Amino acid sequence: MTVAARIATSAALLILLLVAALSYHLAVVHRLAASNRAISTHQVRLVVLTLEQLAMIDHIEESARKLAATGDPGYGEQLTNRIMTFESALRRLSSFDVADSERAAIHRLGGEWRRFLAQLPAPGDLLSGTAPAERARRLGGGLARLGDLRSAAQELVAAANQELSHQGERAESARRGSERWVLAVFAVALLSGSVAVALAIRAIQRPLRRLIEATGRIAEQSYDFELETHGEDEFARLSAAFNEMAKRLAELDEVKRNLLSHVSHELQTPLASIQESHLLLLDGLAGPLTAEQRHLLELDVASCERLGRLISNLLERSRLDAGSLSYEIAEHDLGAVARATVNEVAARAEEAGLLLVSDLPREPLLVPCDRERIGQVLRNLLDNAVKYSSAGGRIEVSLRMAPAPPAGMPEHSRAAIENNGAFVLLEVADEGPGVPAAERERIFERFYRAQRGSGGPSGVGLGLAICRDLVEAHGGAIWASANSPVGSRFQVLLPAGVPERRPAPAGALAAGEQP
């Protein structure tokens, strides 16, 4: 199932359940409205009409009594009209669509009415031709039925009231039932919707996390992974494309490394011979030189040296990348290594108008290391110090024992060291432009050069990356900080104990050998 289909299914399920809950709720509201309508039309009209009938019974009694007392035909006519009104209202009551209890009460009222009419003398028998006493006697039987008629009407009012409250109760219980149902349906919708959404998110999250990890590994130029490509969804297709891209990148990287290593290697020999020829010319082997010719040749020799250092950095990088670099670890006096390297760079520093001072211990400082590689690290740092400082600046090299990593050491460098007791700390500080804090870590990445406008000293950005690889191979750490008051300070911390000797990969070359 594709990711889009999974999301669509969970959304559809949620929508379906919500529509069901809404429809049910609408049906209940409709039922409640109908029941309210019934209450307001039938029941209320029934109660009002019955109350009017009760009042009419009083009016009929009043007219009958006045007729019997006076024998006035006006009252006879009034009585006849009121009887007709009562009868027409009774017919209307019988036509109502009412509950069984109310129907029975209406029926009883009709019966009592008929019995009352049967006992009531015709209005003509109560007119003035008859003696008042006789009229009162004739009326007596009818008036005696009025009590039952009244109680039948009151019974109907009571039945109507009861039905009214029953209907109210029924509406209330329907409302409560609907509320429960709607809440239950909403809860089920919410729960199943959440589960469906959580499943959809999980289905997206897992492959996404793997893709993020793989992207991070590609950023670190490590291609030895293969993403899972099971299934038919978009992620499976993306993972397959990603694997293909990683494979291509690995091939390209390999091609680039080989090319770099071959070109650098091929450049080394002609460069050495050019340098040799220039030195012979400078020695006067081909005849005396004018001052100008000598100056030009000296510039060429300096350029050749720079090019030589660049080529050896490129070769070193290729060997480190290929893992074909082995280390000759032995106890070496680090003070002597530093002294030799400082001497190598001294002439160049002087030419650049820089003051190179060193603070190295007199007594031997024996540290297990590959002296060539550690010499190379210090050479790269000093090269940078000379290259990036301006004339008149001071470069200071120092070496000392350190019982523990220094306080200002960055956390990630602390994690890189293999602590086995004491350390030695090698430092190169200069008064150059310094490295902005945001870039102090990035300058150790390959081919990264700090941004400082156009121009400036040339380089490819490999020196420090090589330094970090070499130092970490010794179980140490290297980092940059600010020098006070200006410039930068590069610090190299090496374990002073005997580190484990790193096994060289198969076919590895000894340090200094050519590939």
- Residue 342 CB, nearest distance to ligand ATP (Å)? 15
310's contact among Mg ion, ligand ATP, none, with CB below 5 to 8 A by partner kind, is ligand ATP
CB 409 within 8 A of CB 477: yes
470 binds ligand ATP (CB under 6 A): no
For residue 362, the surrounding DSSP H or E stretch is none
With contacts defined by CB under 6 A, name the span among 295-303, 369-377, 460-468, 495-503 that binds ligand ATP: 460-468
- Shorter beta-carbon distance to Mg ion: residue 126 or 314: 314
Pairing of strands 477-482, 488-495: antiparallel
450's contact among ligand ATP, Mg ion, none, with CB below 5 to 8 A by partner kind, is ligand ATP
- Residue 383 CB, nearest distance to Mg ion (Å)? 6
CB 397 within 8 A of CB 338: yes
67 binds ligand ATP (CB under 6 A): no
- Residue 313 CB, nearest distance to ligand ATP (Å)? 5
- Shorter beta-carbon distance to ligand ATP: residue 148 or 372: 372
461 binds ligand ATP (CB under 6 A): yes
Residue 447 to residues 292, 298, 373, 443, Cα–Cα distance (Å):
37, 29, 20, 8
- Shorter beta-carbon distance to ligand ATP: residue 255 or 460: 460
Residue 18 to residues 23, 31, 167, 193, Cα–Cα distance (Å):
9, 20, 30, 10
- Shorter beta-carbon distance to Mg ion: residue 53 or 376: 376
For residue 377, which of 466, 495, 481 has the smallest C-alpha distance? 466
Return the residue of 402, 449, 482, 502 that touches ligand ATP, per CB under 6 A.
449
3-class SS shares of the chain: helix, strand, coil, % to 5:
65, 10, 25
- Residue 460 CB, nearest distance to ligand ATP (Å)? 4
With contacts defined by CB under 6 A, name the span among 174-182, 216-224, 442-450, 471-479 that binds ligand ATP: 442-450
304 binds ligand ATP (CB under 6 A): no
- Residue 393 CB, nearest distance to ligand ATP (Å)? 10
98's contact among Mg ion, ligand ATP, none, with CB below 5 to 8 A by partner kind, is none
- Shorter beta-carbon distance to Mg ion: residue 464 or 473: 464
432's contact among ligand ATP, Mg ion, none, with CB below 5 to 8 A by partner kind, is ligand ATP
Strand partners, 490: 428, 480
Q: Rounded to the nearest 5°, which phi and psi values hold at 408?
A: -80, 5
Q: Edge to edge, what strands does the sheet with 423-429 contain?
A: 355-359, 394-402, 423-429, 488-495, 477-482
**Residue 361-400 contact track with ligand ATP, rule CB under 6 A, x = bound:** -----------------------xx--x------------
Residue type, 201: I
- Residue 480 CB, nearest distance to Mg ion (Å)? 12
- Cβ-closest position to ligand ATP: 459
Collapsing DSSP to helix, strand or coil, 45 comes out as helix
CA 24 – CA 36 distance, rounded (Å): 18
- Shorter beta-carbon distance to Mg ion: residue 368 or 459: 459
Q: Rounded to the nearest 5°, which phi and psi values hold at 452?
A: -150, 60
425 binds ligand ATP (CB under 6 A): no
- Residue 253 CB, nearest distance to ligand ATP (Å)? 19
CB 395 within 8 A of CB 385: yes
338's contact among Mg ion, ligand ATP, none, with CB below 5 to 8 A by partner kind, is none
List all residues 6 or more positions away from 316 whose beta carbon is below 8 Å from its beta carbon.
325, 376, 462, 466
For residue 312, which of 184, 177, 462 has the smallest C-alpha distance? 462
CB 167 within 8 A of CB 38: yes
- Residue 467 CB, nearest distance to Mg ion (Å)? 9
- Shorter beta-carbon distance to ligand ATP: residue 147 or 436: 436
Pairing of strands 488-495, 394-402: unpaired
Rounded to the nearest 5 degrees, what angle is found at the Cα of 335, between the Cα atoms of 334 and 336?
A: 90
- Shorter beta-carbon distance to Mg ion: residue 153 or 429: 429
Binding residues for ligand ATP (CB under 6 A): 310, 313, 384-385, 388, 430, 432-435, 443, 449-450, 459-465, 488
